Structures are given as structure tokens and as C-alpha cells.
Chains A and B, each alone.
Chain A
Amino acid sequence: MNKVPYDFSSLTAWIDSSLRATMSPGWAVAVEMIMIGVAILLLYAVVGLFLVYAERKVCALMQNRLGPNRVGPGGIFQTVADLVKLLFVELVPIKNADRILFNLAPYIVIVASFMAIGALPFAKGLHAIDLNIGVFYLMAVSSMGVVGVLLAGWSSNNKYSLIGAMRSGAQIVSYELSVGLSLVTIVILAGTMQLSEIVEAQRWGWFIFKGHLPAVIAFVIYIVASTAETNRGPFDLAEAESELTAGYHTEYSGIKFAFFFLAEYINMFIVAAIATTVFFGGWMPLHVQGWDGFNKIMDYIPPFVWFFGKTGAGIFLMMWFKWTFPRLRIDQLLTLEWKYFLPINIFNVLLMALMVLLGWHF
């Protein structure tokens, strides 16, 4: 195995050993957990801020206008200003709303996305937890978000929110099937569910190239289904302003609305990150077998640059979807999933299994 220039496992091992040297093992673990929590929180905040700004700029680019360009050079502090404003907004208390559930709902959505970020590998050795059931764990925790959505709609005591939440819940639950089956296709190709192993297995070729036809089908279905799962793009009828004002988060104001808003962008980030990890090699640079000079140059670029670059491309694609297409109706959306995606996905899984057994992949 070639020596990888950037190996963060030595860094994390050093932190671990120095902590254990100075305090008892229990405390060391606690401090590590706090450090990871703070790091993920920071990542969350920074990525969220950047994504909101990026969305507005990308949207403006496609709509023949400029986007935020006054607050700070090039408008980069626009999101900060919006966040500060949201902090000052009056939290309107809702009459007859279920107080506990109403306040709980945004936190559930945030917690679900936190847990998913924890499993993603940003570089070699740089992930919070490397479970041997990584893919399965990711699918499980992203399903928790739907609970938050349903709670938000129900506890708002508002007809429109309820309709929006029901639609959204049905949509998310349906499309999780497609997302899961696409990931299962890749698990078959990789032979393991552990995310670091999946990335390692893509050293000499990303899975989208290795598992040609089934992997491409799986990727297409994955990207469409996960756009639907995050309530984005042409599948955003839960928040369709032209129809039902704001859907399940109509009654939320101020910081709680900011949570939903941020959670939507972070979910988009997570979805794109999962796509890069399983289809495009995660932090693994583009290597071609036999081109040693080329591979050395590729290795020189740091792995988190690779990771964020690929994820950024995926996010740009999702933003492009949203600003180009009209919205689907709820029944058309569910028809798409149950009558088209599900049969294609099942067929694709069988195809991939056949390919792996016969060795027809790279």
C-alpha cells in the first residue's frame, strides 16, 4: 500500500494518548466527546452559513441577477446578518398548541442530522465514529428526521401545517426506500458496510466507474430520491409558498425556524456527502492504475479538499434542480416512487448482485 501523505489517524491517536496521560480514562473519553461535539457544532454552523450564502448566489446566478452583494465584501456576511435578525425575532406563542412537542420538534431534526455527520469520513482517520455498520447506521438516523417534521406539523394546531406535515411525512418515508436500496446496491459491490472500508476500496477507481451500469442507475436514483427526502427541489410541496404558505414550519418563528432552515441545508450536505462517500470515493483522490506520476499529483491535494469539492459539486447539482424545475404534485411524487423507482431499484440490486458474482466489474 502506498504511503498516504495525509493520515489523520496519527493526529487523533496523539490527542487520545496525551489526554489519557493527564487524566483518568473516563475523563479522557468525556473530554474527547466534548471536543468532537464542539467540532461538529462548528462544522455544522460554518457549513450551514456557507450553504445558505451559496444557495442564494447560485440561485441568483441562474436567475440573471446578483444575489447578496452589500453586506460585507461580496455579501459574505449576509447569512450572519440573517441569523442575528432571526435571534431577535419575537417567538409568537401559539394558542392551543402542544407546547412540549412544539418546542421539541426542531431539536429532533437537528439531532438526526448531527448523528449522521458523526459517521462521515472527512479524511483518513478523521471521522467521529467508524462503525462496522456505517451505511446501515446512516440510513437509520436520517429516518429520525421525519419524526421532527410530523411533530412540528401536528403541534402547531394549524390546518395548513398539518397538511404540509402529512404530505412531507409520506414523501420522506416513501423515498427512504429508494435511498436505502441504492445504498444497498453499493454495499453489494463493496462487500462491507463500514464507511472507511468503502472509501479504501475505491482507491483504484471510484465505485461509479467500477460498478458501471448498476452503479450509475443507483446514483441517479439516489440523487433524485435524496432530493425528495430532504424536501428540496422539485419535491418541495411541503413548503410550497404558492399553495400552502410555508407548510409544516408555518408557525415557527425566530431561532426555531432557523433550526429547521439550517437543518434543511445540513441535510442536503449530508446527502451529498453520503453520495460522494459511496459513489465517488469520499476523500480518496482520483487514481488511475499505472499512472504513478498522475497519482502522486492527485495525492498531493489534501483529502478534505477532495471530500468537500465532491460534496460541493453534488450540492450544486441539487441546487440546480430546485431552480430549474416546477414542482411535482403529491400524487405524482408518490407515483414516481412506488411505481417507477422501486421496481427499477429492485431490478438494479439484482443486476449488481449478478455482476459481482460473475466478476463483471472493474
Chain B
Amino acid sequence: MEEKTNTVSLENQEYVINMGPQHPSTHGVLRLVCSLKGEIVQNVQPHIGYIHRGIEKMCESLTYQQIIHLTDRMDYLSAHINNEAVCLTVEKALEADVPERVKYIRTILSELTRIQSHQLFWATFGMDLGGLTCFFYGLRDREMVLDIFEETCGGRMIVSYNTPGGLMNDIHPNFQKRVKDFIKYFRGVIHEYDDLLTGNVIFRERSMGIGVVTKEQAVAWGMTGPTGRASGFSCDIRKHYPYSAYDKVTFNEVLHTEGDVYHRYMVRMEEMRESMNIIEQLIDNIPEGPYTVKMKPVIKLPEGEYFQSVETARGELGVYIVSDGNKNPFRVKFRSPNFVNLAPLNMMSKGYKIADLVAIGGSLDLIIPDIDR
């Protein structure tokens, strides 16, 4: 089979640098082959596939309950939201009505997941730019969320708490109190994040005006999530196609228009606060009731195609299931947000310096296993 060779070409005075799969600041196993002229980036080609595990192929031989466990391992920082996506697709296909209690708990856990994902983003973004202390402060606070997950769901990062029809188990009796304590603590501490990084003049110089994406480019390339919202593209699935308990809460969709690294960062900072607002509206009103709907042990979806999007911490995750009536799906496709957000990296970094490439890559907040699936 004829393969075109690498498109990174060498002209005079250009040289090729490899930010290899093992690199402190590509977040995961991502290889960026950059062609530079001095300090200026001419061309960036991402090479992926180092962690391709064939998840979509594997799903064709698993049952619908087993697929949930694979989704944890795609975008592991939005594990709960990924699980929810598959569960919602299956429940929509079966036209099952999940109890209100389940919807509330799923929403609360999703928002907690979003907060801890953005905390990790803050920690690693600061570290990439050189403010190494940010890593410790961000992770210190994230530990509280992970402890809540561990107590209720049984796992810190790999949760697998959702199941088609509801939840695996009811929430722990301490859950509400711990979440309220966390919100109170975090509201008092989040100003540290702004004091340390947001207002810092060095940080602003490194991030304002870098890697600008216009709204038309964001729509054309399909960039969703905080990356798209920083360019003014209103793409929040929670607002446009509400699911679970999102139609019962009021929150703002954080939009900026400048589309540079700084505003992608600011969108995530503000989203953390919005998530806390959502949790506060729900945490005291969790209705009583069963935590799952009775499902058959062997789930078979009726023949047809089903699509459901959810808003993960990084963008729109779309689950497309094609079923032929058997207990295993015929085809499962995950439209992963990171896969789509990575594609315009070349377009975004042309003409900037190599230090900016690190900042741009960090602001996209990529999780490589989600790209490779």
C-alpha cells in the first residue's frame, strides 16, 4: 500500500524537532514533530496511536453493561461523564425512565468530575508554563473530590458507577455532607488560583494573544468544550440538549470571544465556579427513591441507530451505537472531543514560537487516551 511520507519538509534553515512521546508537557503519549525556523514554528504534525487499544472494536464483542468500563479509560478525567453518555444512549434506546434520584446524583457527580478535571488542568497548565507550585496546589484540592468519589463510587479516577438503568449502588450516607464541605472549602480557596496565576503579568504575557482561534474556525473544525466557548462558539450540550437534571438548574454558559490561550484558561476557571453553583442547587434536594430501574440481565437494544451527546470537561462526547438486535452492539463509535480538538493544532500554532506551542497544547487540555481510544 502506498504511503505518503511525512509531510514535515525541510527547506533552508528549517530544522525538525521532535517533542517525543515521552515529554514532560505533552499530556500523555503524543508525539509532535515540529518544523522550526529559528524559534518560529512552521509546521506541527501530531503522531498519535501510541495508546490505541481498539476500544471501538472491543465493544463489538462486549455486552452493554461491559462497555461502560471501557469508557472510563478513554477520557479518564471525565470518567463519570463518559459512563453517563453510554448509559443515556442505552436508556434512550430502550425508552427506559430513570428515577429522578438517579438524574440528580448523576448530575452532581458529573459536575464534581468537571471541577476535578479543571483543577488538574490548572495544575498542569501552570506547571507547563514554569510555575511549578501550581501543580501541588491544584492537586491538593483535587484530592478532596477524589476522596468523595472513592467513598461513594469505589474508585478515585476509574469510577464505573453508572449502569444502564441507574447506578450501581446508592450513594454513601456521608455523600451530601462531604460535598457541601468541599464546596464551602473550595469557594474559600479558589481565589488562590487567581492570585497565583491569573493575575500574574508573566502568565498574561505568555498567554494573551497566543494561539487565536476565531469563531468560524472553531465551528469549521468542530472544536467544542471550553476551547470552542473561548472563541464565542456556544456549544454547551447541557444548554442546547439538556439531559439528566440539567433542565432543572440555572447556570451560565461561559463564553468569551477572543479565543486565545488566556481565555481558554479563563473559561475553565469560570466553569469551575458555575459547576459549584449547579451542585449547590441540587445537593440538598436529592429526591428519595430507587437508585436504579429494573433492567433485564441481558440488555438487547432494538434494531437501529442511536446517538447521544454529553458535555464532558473537554467538549462534546458523542456516542453512536448501531444495534442489530443482539446482546452485543453492531458498532459503537465514540466521537471524542480531544480527537477533534487536536486536529487544528497545526493551524493554531503556525507562526508562534516553540514556547508558545507548549502553552497552546496545554490550553487545549488534551487527554491522549481519548484521542487514540
A20 CB, nearest partner CB in chain B, Å: 54
* A330:B24 contact, CB within 8 angstroms: no
* A328:B202 contact, CB within 8 angstroms: yes
The reply to whether the CB of A63 lies closer than 8 angstroms to some CB of chain B is: yes
Q: How far is the CA of A237 from the CA of B358 in the complex (A)?
A: 12
Q: How far is the CA of A100 from the CA of B287 in the complex (A)?
A: 77
The reply to whether the CB of A3 lies closer than 8 angstroms to some CB of chain B is: no
Report B-chain residues with C-beta under 8 Å of the C-beta of A324: 131, 133, 196
Q: How far is the CA of A324 from the CA of B196 in the complex (A)?
A: 7
* A63:B131 contact, CB within 8 angstroms: no
Q: How far is the CA of A328 from the CA of B203 in the complex (A)?
A: 8
The reply to whether the CB of B2 lies closer than 8 angstroms to some CB of chain A is: no
Report B-chain residues with C-beta under 8 Å of the C-beta of A242: 24-25, 127-130, 358
Report A-chain residues with C-beta under 8 Å of the C-beta of B205: 328-329, 332
How many positions in chain B have a CB within 8 Å of any CB in the partner chain?
29
* A326:B206 contact, CB within 8 angstroms: yes
Report B-chain residues with C-beta under 8 Å of the C-beta of A354: none
B143 CB, nearest partner CB in chain A, Å: 11
Specify which of A65, A237, A327, A330 lies most central, judged by the most chain B CB atoms within 10 Å of its CB.
A327
Q: How far is the CA of A174 from the CA of B26 in the complex (A)?
A: 31
* B202:A62 contact, CB within 8 angstroms: no
Q: How far is the CA of A69 from the CA of B196 in the complex (A)?
A: 27
The reply to whether the CB of A204 lies closer than 8 angstroms to some CB of chain B is: no
Report A-chain residues with C-beta under 8 Å of the C-beta of B136: 63-65
With A241-B24, A242-B25: A326-B358 Cβ-Cβ less than 8 Å: no
The reply to whether the CB of A107 lies closer than 8 angstroms to some CB of chain B is: no
Interface of chain A, main secondary structure = helix
Report B-chain residues with C-beta under 8 Å of the C-beta of A234: 130, 202
* B358:A243 contact, CB within 8 angstroms: yes
Interface of chain B, main secondary structure = helix
With A159-B17, A237-B355, A243-B355: A327-B137 Cβ-Cβ less than 8 Å: no
A296-334, CB < 8 A from B: 323-332
* A325:B130 contact, CB within 8 angstroms: yes
A221-254, CB < 8 A from B: 234, 236-237, 240-243
A187 CB, nearest partner CB in chain B, Å: 31
Report B-chain residues with C-beta under 8 Å of the C-beta of A329: 205-206, 353, 355-356
Q: How far is the CA of A329 from the CA of B354 in the complex (A)?
A: 9
Report B-chain residues with C-beta under 8 Å of the C-beta of A241: 24
* B353:A331 contact, CB within 8 angstroms: yes
With A242-B24, A328-B205, A332-B205: A323-B133 Cβ-Cβ less than 8 Å: yes
The reply to whether the CB of B322 lies closer than 8 angstroms to some CB of chain A is: no
B107-137, CB < 8 A from A: 126-133, 135-137
Tell me which of A64, A243, A332 contacts B354 (CB under 8 A). A243
The reply to whether the CB of B140 lies closer than 8 angstroms to some CB of chain A is: yes
* B133:A63 contact, CB within 8 angstroms: yes
Report A-chain residues with C-beta under 8 Å of the C-beta of B354: 243
Chain A, residues 157-196, CB within 8 Å of chain B (1/0): the string is: 0011000000000000000000000000000000000000
The reply to whether the CB of B39 lies closer than 8 angstroms to some CB of chain A is: yes
The reply to whether the CB of B197 lies closer than 8 angstroms to some CB of chain A is: yes
* B24:A327 contact, CB within 8 angstroms: no
B125-179, CB < 8 A from A: 126-133, 135-137, 140
Q: How far is the CA of A160 from the CA of B136 in the complex (A)?
A: 28
Residue of B nearest to A241 (CB): B24
* A325:B355 contact, CB within 8 angstroms: no
A229 CB, nearest partner CB in chain B, Å: 18
Report A-chain residues with C-beta under 8 Å of the C-beta of B76: none
Residue of A nearest to B205 (CB): A332
B316 CB, nearest partner CB in chain A, Å: 29
Report B-chain residues with C-beta under 8 Å of the C-beta of A323: 132-133
Report A-chain residues with C-beta under 8 Å of the C-beta of B129: 242, 326-327
Report B-chain residues with C-beta under 8 Å of the C-beta of A243: 25, 354-355, 358
The reply to whether the CB of B200 lies closer than 8 angstroms to some CB of chain A is: yes
* B202:A327 contact, CB within 8 angstroms: yes
Report B-chain residues with C-beta under 8 Å of the C-beta of A236: 130
* B355:A330 contact, CB within 8 angstroms: yes
Specify which of A236, A237, A243, A331 lies most central, judged by the most chain B CB atoms within 10 Å of its CB.
A243
* B25:A62 contact, CB within 8 angstroms: no
Chain B, residues 1-20, CB within 8 Å of chain A (1/0): the string is: 00000000000000101000
Report A-chain residues with C-beta under 8 Å of the C-beta of B24: 241-242
Residue of B nearest to A233 (CB): B130
Report B-chain residues with C-beta under 8 Å of the C-beta of A330: 39, 353, 355
Report B-chain residues with C-beta under 8 Å of the C-beta of A237: 130, 355
B141 CB, nearest partner CB in chain A, Å: 10
Report B-chain residues with C-beta under 8 Å of the C-beta of A325: 130-131, 200, 202
Subset of 22 A-B contacts with CB under 8 Å: A63-B133, A63-B137, A64-B137, A236-B130, A237-B355, A240-B355, A242-B25, A242-B128, A242-B358, A243-B25, A243-B355, A323-B133, A326-B130, A326-B197, A327-B129, A327-B130, A327-B206, A328-B205, A329-B206, A329-B356, A332-B205, A332-B206
Chain B residues with CB under 8 Å of chain A are: 15, 17, 24-25, 39, 126-133, 135-137, 140, 196-197, 200, 202-203, 205-206, 353-356, 358
Chain A residues with CB under 8 Å of chain B are: 62-65, 159-160, 234, 236-237, 240-243, 323-332
The 9 closest A-B pairs by CB, nearest first: A327-B130, A326-B129, A242-B25, A63-B136, A326-B131, A326-B130, A329-B355, A242-B128, A242-B24
